Amino acid sequence: MTTDAPPTENRRAPNPPGGRRSRRGRPALGATPARRRLSWRRVNYPAGFASLVWLFIVALPLYVLVSATLRTRQDYLDNGALSLPTSPSVDSYRRVLEGDFLTYLLNTAIVTAACATLVIVLAVTVSYSIVRTRSRASRRIFQFFLLGLAIPSQAVIIPVYLIITELHFYDSLMAIILPTAAFALPVSVLILTGTMRDIDEEIYESMALDGATPLRMLLQLTVPMSRAGISTVGVFSALQAWNGFLFPLILTQSRENRVLTLGLYDYVGEFRVDVPALLAAVVLSIVPIFVAYLFARRQLINGLMGVGGK
Amino acid sequence: MHPPTPTGRRERARRPTGRPGISWAIPGVAFFAFFAAAPMFLVAFLSLTSWDGLGSPAWAGTDNWTRLWSDPGMRTALWLSLLLTAFSWLFQTPIALLLGVWAAGRQKSRAMLSAVFFLPLLASSVALALVWRSILDPNFGLAADVARWFDLSDANVLGSERGALAAIAFVAAWQFIPFHTLLYQGGARQIPKSLYDAASIDGAGTVRQFFQITLPQLKNTVVTSSVLMVVGALTYFDTVLILTRGGPGDATSIVPYLMYETGFQAFDLGYASAIATALVVTATGVSLLMVRLTGFSRMRSTREGM
């Protein structure tokens, strides 16, 4: 490292952690933070190297994925997975879109939207009741959902199959929506109770003075104040629905009720030797989430962290 | 006890109108109970029946359980599950820990890298398993190229028993390490800077700082991440179904896959319920054991006394 590296690092970091920012202006103390920063940087070298290695491990399959879709079937078979697409073509995407892909996409969109709506409505009312009703019962309900976090969906797939067939929902989009939403509820309740607890009690009290009903308080105060939590829950449950595989696999059958993940699984047989088309379908299934990620990055991270952050 | 101030009186008076009743929680609780909690009990009941998925379940007593106890397939599956779990933990934890601690810093490159790190988290395990399936294809995948470069005779990783299990562990790690990295990143960000400052003044090197500050302070995160990792590894299913279908032979037929095969390929749903119940018991047992052993429930904060 050259001698002027620490100040460069200093300029690069827009938000130095801790109290460094306030000290930066004081030349008398300048030497100490610089030395500290130096030691912090030394911590990062081995781990930084490891992350570069990991970056390579993550990026290589992604490169294979994208480059394969831009080549013809014959080109892929002849030149292997790593060669560059010399004459890029989107033919493989066309082959995918000519099939039932758009049906699968539409089904997935319906399932995702319905699931997110259902989860938001149920999680908001449950969390509102837990946070605002201070009773033994509300604590019990919270613990119930906390325990519910631990239920693996695979373990209950057989009884869920029984319930869905008894309800005559087998092989319908409803069969996917209901259990998927149920399994997204515990995390959502956890996230939302966390957000709603931060709302100031005094605002509720002043609203109550005006004679507001619980419903009006929910709609005018709680929901607007917990927008961040609600969007996190929405994004989280949408991701669960979009990527879910087990429930569609067991609970649906026909082609017109097929969602994307199941469609991809089916393509293995259909595009047996047409790897570019198979991978094009994979790319097409990821693109919508990736676009959503670009717009709702924070909510997505929060939603993902909500799973284990508690 | 009851201060006769106007405030106190008003507070009591508006309590019935201002607060929602517990009835607001009923739809959500009922919904969750019906589709997730009740099935937990129902699966235990179904394990005592014989059911082909079409008619109604017929009482079978403990038949399924005696069969389960002496089933070599189940023993193999349990062993493979535990092996895969242990292997996954050993593989994922150090990498996620290192990456997470590194990513907790404020480097500029972090932002760029995180977009790439994130991609495996966003995609479904089906999509990722398909990518890896194509890569590991012994004839046309990257595996074929690698075998050519290193002059290996056999590129068929998924065709060998150990190779297939290792491949599943690797693909799962590839998919889940970003999530655990995020957990560790969050944990490491919460460690007070003052601890490092004090250690630097005392002349502690970076390796020592890592082992004496970072690691102990991340204890809660390590437990959380490990429990999620272990329970997650016990329930890998999508990856197995797409990469190996339990094969070659039954070399990757872990418990959830055995349950799927028994229940939804052979339509022996009563016996599959017994396998599922065993899976719940194992998963719950292992995670409770881990929480106990690490004293997670006793430990309220790693920063007591500061």
Write out pLDDT tens, residues B27-72: 989 999 999 889 989 999 998 988 887 878 888 888 888 888 888 8
Inter-helix orientation angle B109-122/A275-295, to 10° = 120
Per-residue CA distances from B292 to A246, B231, B288 (Å): 31, 15, 6
**What is the pLDDT, as a whole number, of residue A47?**
66
Query: Residue B50: beta bridge partners?
Result: B58
CATH topology of domain A94-308: MetI-like fold (1.10.3720)
Q: Which of A55, A159, A267 sits opposite B46 (nearest CB)?
A: A159
**What is the pLDDT, as a whole number, of residue B34?**
92
Say which residue, A134 or A13, is predicted with more confidence: A134
Query: Is residue A272's pLDDT more than 80?
Result: no
SS3 B50: strand
- Residue B182 belongs to a domain: yes
**What is the pLDDT, as a whole number, of residue A307?**
44
Say which residue, A39 or B103, is predicted with more confidence: B103
C-beta separation of A104 from A267 below 8 A: no
| A-chain residues near B174 (CB < 8 A) | 57-58, 61
For chain A, the straight-line distance linking the first and the last C-alpha, in angstroms and rounded, comes to 40
Maximum separation of any 2 CA atoms in chain B, in Å: 91
Segment of A231-245, B102-116, B132-146, B204-218 carrying the highest mean pLDDT: A231-245
Query: Is residue A280's pLDDT more than 80?
Result: yes
Give, in degrees to the nearest 5, the angle at Cα A205 between A199 and A206: 105
User: SS3 for B235-248, per residue?
Assistant: CCCHHHHHHCCCCC
- Residue B243 belongs to a domain: yes
- Distance between CA atoms of residues A287 and A280, nearest Å: 11
In terms of CA atoms, which chain B residue is nearest residue A250? B264
**What is the pLDDT, as a whole number, of residue B58?**
81
- Distance between CA atoms of residues A43 and B209, nearest Å: 9
pTM of the model: 0.81
Q: For chain B, what is the mean pLDDT?
A: 81
A50/B95 touch (CB, cutoff 8 Å), yes or no: yes
**What is the pLDDT, as a whole number, of residue A144?**
87
Task: Of A177-191, A287-301, B249-263, give the lowest mean pLDDT range.
Answer: A287-301
- Quickly state the pLDDT bin for A308 (edges 50, 70, 90): very low
- Residue B279 belongs to a domain: yes
- Quickly state the pLDDT bin for A252 (edges 50, 70, 90): very high
* Residues in contact with B304: Cβ distance below 8 Å, sequence separation at least 6, in sequence order: none
Q: Which of A126, A128, A155 sits opposite B276 (nearest CB)?
A: A155
Amino acid at A257: N
Segment of A174-178, A296-300, B122-126 carrying the highest mean pLDDT: A174-178
Maximum separation of any 2 CA atoms in chain A, in Å: 77
Question: For residue B124, which phi and psi values (nearest 5 degrees)?
Answer: -75, 155
Structural domain boundaries in chain A? 1-62, 94-308
- Residue B102 belongs to a domain: yes
Question: For residue B58, which phi and psi values (nearest 5 degrees)?
Answer: -105, 140
- Quickly state the pLDDT bin for B296 (edges 50, 70, 90): low
Inform me whether the C-beta atom of residue B245 falls under 8 Å from chain A C-beta atoms.
no
- Quickly state the pLDDT bin for B291 (edges 50, 70, 90): confident
B177/A54 touch (CB, cutoff 8 Å), yes or no: yes
In terms of CA atoms, which chain A residue is nearest residue B42? A159
Using alpha carbons, select from A118, A284, A293 the residue that is nearest to residue A304: A293
- Distance between CA atoms of residues B36 and B54, nearest Å: 22
**What is the pLDDT, as a whole number, of residue B5?**
45
- Quickly state the pLDDT bin for B305 (edges 50, 70, 90): very low
Min Cα–Cα distance to chain B from A277, Å: 11
Segment of A118-127, B143-152, B185-194 carrying the highest mean pLDDT: A118-127
* Residues in contact with B77: Cβ distance below 8 Å, sequence separation at least 6, in sequence order: B250, B253, B254, B255, B257, B258, B275
Q: Which of B18, B37, B116 sits opposite A204 (nearest CB)?
A: B18
Inform me whether the C-beta atom of residue B54 falls under 8 Å from chain A C-beta atoms.
no
- The share of chain A scoring above pLDDT 90, in percent, equals 25
- Residue B62 belongs to a domain: no
Per-residue CA distances from B138 to A282, B133, B143, B173, B234 (Å): 20, 10, 6, 21, 28
**What is the pLDDT, as a whole number, of residue A25?**
39
pLDDT tens figures, B156-197 = 777 788 888 999 999 999 988 888 888 888 888 888 888 888
**What is the pLDDT, as a whole number, of residue B295?**
60
Q: Give the position of tokens 């294809």.
A: B137
B235/A154 touch (CB, cutoff 8 Å), yes or no: yes
Q: What is the mean pLDDT of residues A69-73?
A: 81
CATH number at residue B125: 1.10.3720.10
Inter-helix orientation angle A275-295/A260-270, to 10° = 160
Q: For chain A, what is the mean pLDDT?
A: 79
**What is the pLDDT, as a whole number, of residue B114?**
66
Mutate to test the interface with A, among B106, B139, B244 (most CBs of A within 10 A): B106
Q: Give the position of tokens 């104040």.
A: A225
- Residue B11 belongs to a domain: no
Residues 128-147 of B with CB under 8 A from A: 130-135, 137, 140-142, 144-145
Q: How many domains does chain B have?
A: 1
pLDDT tens figures, B78-97 = 899 989 999 999 999 998 88
Q: Give the position of tokens 């100040």.
A: A7
Give, in degrees to the nearest 5, the angle at Cα A29 between A26 and A33: 110
Task: Of A117-121, A149-153, A172-176, B74-78, give the lowest mean pLDDT range.
Answer: A149-153
- Of how many residues is chain B composed? 306
Amino acid at B96: A
- Residue B5 belongs to a domain: no
Task: Of A141-150, B100-109, B183-192, B250-259, give the lowest mean pLDDT range.
Answer: B100-109
Per-residue CA distances from B274 to A303, B256, B290 (Å): 33, 12, 24
- Quickly state the pLDDT bin for A198 (edges 50, 70, 90): confident
Using alpha carbons, select from B288, B21, B115 the residue that is nearest to residue A55: B115
Inform me whether the C-beta atom of residue B35 falls under 8 Å from chain A C-beta atoms.
yes
Q: Which domain holds residue B141?
A: 72-293
Q: Which of B118, B197, B259 sits opposite A36 (nearest CB)?
A: B197
**What is the pLDDT, as a whole number, of residue A173?**
93
Taking the CA atoms of residue A261, residue A265, residue A268 and residue A269 in that order, the dihedral angle to the nearest 10 degrees is: -130
- Residue B26 belongs to a domain: no
Query: Is residue A267's pLDDT more than 60?
Result: yes
Residue spans of alpha helices (H) in chain A: 5-12, 20-23, 31-69, 73-79, 91-98, 101-132, 136-148, 157-166, 173-197, 201-209, 214-217, 223-225, 227-243, 246-251, 260-270, 275-295, 297-308
Query: Is residue B113's pLDDT more than 70?
Result: no
- Quickly state the pLDDT bin for A41 (edges 50, 70, 90): very low
Task: Of A18-22, A190-194, A256-260, give the lowest mean pLDDT range.
Answer: A18-22
Inform me whether the C-beta atom of residue B203 falls under 8 Å from chain A C-beta atoms.
no
Q: Count the neighbouring beta carbons within 10 Å of the beta carbon of residue B248.
A: 15
Query: Is residue B126's pLDDT more than 50?
Result: yes
- Quickly state the pLDDT bin for A11 (edges 50, 70, 90): very low
